Amino acid sequence: DIVMTQSPDSLSVPLGERATINCKSSQSVLYSSNNKNRLAWYQQKPGQPPKLLIYWASTRESGVPDRFSGSGSGTDFTLTISGVQAEDVAVYYCQQYKSSPITFGPGTKVDVK
C-alpha cells in the first residue's frame, strides 16, 4: 500500500496570509501514461463531508477559488492557500489514486488567527 504522510499536523495562519501544507507518498504517484501525478486534495469543514479541491496534483476542481493551488511531483506535494479566508478553516487531506487501495493522508487542520 502507498502510505501518505502530511505536515504539519495543524497550523494557525493570520487572515490574508499564506498557508502551506505538505504531503508525501511512500512511492511515486506519477502516472507514466500522461506524466501526471495521481494526487488529490480534499477540504473537510466541521460537520461536513470532504470536498474535492484539486486532482492530478495541480488541477483545480470546477468552482474552487483560485487561492487554492497544488504543486509537486513524484512523492512530494504541496497545497497552498494564498490569502487565507475565515471560511478556509478546515482539515485538508491528500489522497493518492495511483494504485489500489486508495489511501489518504492523516489530515492537516488549518485555523485562522
Nearer to another protein, 13 or 29 (CB): 29
Cβ of residue 65: shortest distance to another protein, in angstroms?
Answer: 17
Contact status, residue 18 vs residue 89, Cβ threshold 8 Å? no
Radius of gyration of the chain (CA): 13
* Minimum distance from residue 45 beta carbon to another protein (Å): 12
Amino acid at 40: A
Report, in Å, the least distance between residue 57 CB and another protein. 11
Interface residue list for another protein (CB under 8 A): 38, 40, 42, 49-52, 55-56, 61, 93, 95, 97, 100-107
Residue whose cell numbers read 500500500: 1
C-alpha cell of residue 43: 477540504
